[in-house]
Amino acid sequence: MRSRHLLVVLIVLISCSFARAGIAHAKARAGDVEYFHDAMELDEINEREEGTGQTPLMAASLAGMHLAVEKLLDLGADADIPEKDGYNPPHGVAFQGRPLAARALIARGIPVDVAHADGFTPLHRTVWGRSPSHLETAIVLMSDGGADVNRVDAAGYPVAHRAVGERKGRAWIDALLRHGADVAYQVEDTGDTLLHAAVMSQDVEVIEAVVEAGGDVLVKNKKGLTPRGLAKSLGLEAATNVLSRTKFARGKEEL
């Protein structure tokens, strides 16, 4: 009888714990700052949600609830606790494009340039997003968080190469160049510079931006192609014309 009573008590406690966690996560996602208070136990603040593995801090970060992020961190929330796939709040704000939440993490000293096991940093992850807020988040990570714009991912590509490959457009490449993207870097496997990547994107504005930033029109990749040679081989007349004008303006020899 006593064993049965203890089992019932244990089930009730577990049920209450799950209910409490569910409420905390819902409040975090809704940005309900008033729910979180100084008397809360750290176990509740850092409790991982069943199924997602998210803490309230991760839930607030993904939802972009920057005031909740600030409050949870002030209460001692642990930003190193990952969700079920190993992603932490900096990766969450990057993936969802949450610039204010990113700034809140940075303001409280949370590192935002740590790579996940997949080899991508939060800055790399912003490139996958499609909204203007992803670019805003990238700028916050670089300007406020000191994220290294030239850090390469697991495949050896820096953020600028990825952004050009994803055809993010001139606004993205201008922002990355302002923060020090290296136009001379050559990908180890291909030898492609950022200008080669720009040519392959077929975006004339991006090509012009890289040239204006000092992209070398004469450097060859591992196939022996200069950016202009690559443009010609792909039949890209507009890109070829831009690079030809650049060559003659600088007095370069024929490519």
The type of residue at 127 is V
Instruction: Name the average pLDDT for the chain.
Output: 90
pLDDT (tens digit, 9 = 90+) per residue, 189-202? 999 999 999 999 99
Average pLDDT over residues 131-160: 97
Tokens of 14: 């577990």
Query: Per-residue pLDDT tens for 81-110?
Result: 999 999 999 999 999 999 999 999 999 999
pLDDT of residue 15: 47
- For residue 160, the model assigns a pLDDT of 98
Say if residues 58 and 83 touch (Cβ distance below 8 Å): yes
Determine the pLDDT at residue 247. 53
pLDDT at 250 over 80: no
Question: Does residue 208 fall inside a structural domain?
Answer: yes
Residue 136 lies in a domain: no
Query: Which two three-digit tokens encode residue 252?
Result: 């370069």
Residue 175 within a domain: yes
135 located within any domain? no
Identify the DSSP state of 48. P
| Residue 9, pLDDT score | 38
- pTM, whole model, 2 decimals? 0.87
Cα–Cα distance, 130 to 143 (Å, whole number): 21
pLDDT for 7 equals: 44
Cα angle, residue 71 at apex, residues 67 and 76 outer, rounded to 5°:
145
Helix pair angle (89-96, 56-63), 10° resolution: 20
- Rounded distance, CA 39 to CA 147, Å? 35
CATH number of the domain that residue 209 is part of: 1.25.40.20
Q: What is the pLDDT of residue 6?
A: 42
Cα dihedral: 235, 240, 241, 242 (round 10): 140
Q: Is residue 178 part of a domain?
A: yes
Percent of the chain residues topping a pLDDT of 70: 88
> For the segment 1-24, what is each residue's pLDDT rounded down to a tens digit?
445 554 443 343 444 444 454 899
Residue whose structure tokens are 């600088």 = 250
Q: Which two tokens stand for residue 230?
A: 């690559």
pLDDT of residue 16: 47
pLDDT value of residue 205: 96
Is residue 186 a part of any domain in this protein?
Answer: yes
CA–CA dist 142, 162 (Å, integer): 16
Residue 25 maps to a domain: no
Number of domains in the chain: 1
Report if residue 83 sits inside a domain.
Answer: no
* Nearest Cα residue to 246 out of 205, 212, 199: 212
pLDDT, position 245: 82
| Under 8 Å between Cβ of 240 and 211 | no
Give the domain range for residue 198.
Answer: 158-255
Does 233 score more than 60 pLDDT? yes
Structure tokens at 222: 């591992």
- What confidence tens digit (pLDDT) does each residue in 45-88 have? 999 999 999 999 999 999 999 999 999 999 999 999 999 999 99
